Amino acid sequence: MKQFFARLLFGGFAVAVLAQRPPAKVVPAQIVVDNPKVTVSRWLLQPGEQSPVHTHSLDHVYVVIHGSKIREHFPDGHTSDDEQETGRAAFSPARGKTHSFENAGSVPYEMISIELKEPR
């Protein structure tokens, strides 16, 4: 569980205390298409919600339908923030990348991911 500092007021004095941040709500993707050629997933995360931890083993294309600030979480504990703008489209090669991502912004985030399956 993540920790954060909170300021409490006691008799006019501000006191900093170490508190536990509640875990983010984990929201899986909605699978829109899954066939031998592609898997198309729709991600819709409200502020504070997070994807499950997953590994990218296939090339994929993603398109941001509604942008927000996204915080990626990696297995070693580090994070990376990115402002994902509405309309962004990108190709990401398969790298075996394991991560989860969280909507760290104040508006809903929506993204479509298209995984390109290997020819059989």
How is the chain split into domains, by residue range?
24-116
Q: What stretch of H or E contains 70? A: strand 68-73
- Whose CA is closest to 79, among 100, 107, 58? 100
Residue 83: is its pLDDT beyond 90?
yes
Give the helix, strand, coil percentages of the chain, each rounded to 5.
0, 60, 40
Burial 68-88 (b: 16+ CB within 10 A, else e): bbbbbbeeeeeeeeeebeeee
- Multiple choice CATH, 24-116, 2.60.120.10, 3.20.20.210, 3.40.50.1970, 3.40.630.30: 2.60.120.10
Read off the pLDDT band of 3 (50, 70, 90): very low
- Tell me the pLDDT band of 30, cut-offs 50, 70 and 90: very high
Coil, helix or strand for 4?
Answer: strand
**Is 0.85 surpassed by the pTM of this model?**
no
